[in-house]
Structure 1
Amino acid sequence: MSPIALILNLIWLVLGGAFAALGWFVAAFLMAISIIGLPWARAAFDNGVYTLWPFGAKPVSRDRLYGEDIGTGPLGFLGNIIWFVLAGWWLAIGHLLAALGLAITIIGLPFAWAHLKLAGFALWPIGRTLAHSDLRRRAF
């Protein structure tokens, strides 16, 4: 991770990123202990990790890094449809509104960009994982 990404991540954590990530981790825990929410627990956990450290990480398709699995096939697509209908669209709207508010100032622009990345990931998370941005450039 670059020094700039580290500094931005630390500022992000202090200004609310840690609180937002905690919310995702609590949601992932609650999904994991319920039978119905278990298929979406990993997606919520990945959203929490991405919310914790949004700078220096990029979402990539899991099948490009690890090969095909249950989340990258038809069941993952169905899971994403259910996620989108029940949670994804309003989570993405929340991130978009936060991005608009942060984009008003020059200092807030990097954090607005982070919210835009989080909106895309929150919209369709199943079958995706996080990779260091340097890894993505080298691997693909």
Structure 2
Amino acid sequence: MKVLEVILNVIWLIFCGIWMAIAYAVAGIICFILIITIPFGIAAFRIAGFVIWPFGRTTVERSDAGAPSCVGNVIWMVFAGWWLALAHIATSIPLFLSIIGIPFGWANLKMIPISLMPLGREVVSTDERFGWG
């Protein structure tokens, strides 16, 4: 299964992963420049790492996430999340136009929730998520 994950990740990287990772990195850099939004920048870079190589990994809610994460997610959604979600939609449309791209377009749409609300989530291996590793 690991070989399949690598193949899927390489195809993903070429067709949409690099572009989406750049979008998250730009959002992260802007957040770091503004200093008070550094926690958002950290979340943006964490998502960029996930978006560039997503197959074999997933996101889960952190058990220690509370009200600050909720408030932070609302702020994130207003200032950055909505345009990153739109970028996922725009990237998925051309992928859906070919048979081979359909699974990648669907994977792109599955990333919209984390693009809208990244705080209080962490990226884990699918093996860890399901207790296989």
Give your verdict on TM over 0.5.
yes
Which residue is 2:109 aligned to?
116
Contact 2:27 2:80 in 1 (8 A): no
Distance 2:80 2:118 in 1: 11
Cα displacement (A) at 1:45: 0.9
For 2:40, the equivalent position in structure 1 comes to: 40
Measured in 2, the distance between the counterparts of 1:61 and 1:113 equals 21
Cα separation, partners in 2 of 1:61 and 1:33, compared to 1, 3 Å: same
Moved over 4 A (4+): none
Amino acid at match of 2:4: I
Name 2:4's counterpart in structure 1.
Answer: 4
2:83 corresponds to 1:90: yes
Distance 1:99-1:22 versus aligned 2 partners, 3 A rule: closer
RMSD of aligned residue pairs (Cα, Å): 1.9
Distance 1:111 1:137 in 2: 22
**TM-score normalised to the size of structure 2?**
0.86
Aligned length: 132
Closer, same or farther in 2 for the Cα pair 1:81/1:92, shift >3 Å? same
Aligned to 1:14: 14
> What displacement does 1:117 show?
2.1
| Alignment partners' CA distance in 1, 2:21 and 2:7 | 18
Shift of 1:120: 1.6
Superposed displacement of residue 41, structure 1: 1.1
Structure 2 segments unaligned to the other structure (5+ residues)? none
Cα deviation code 1:98-140 (max 9, x no counterpart): 223312221001211221122121011101011111211117x
TM, length-normalised to structure 1: 0.83
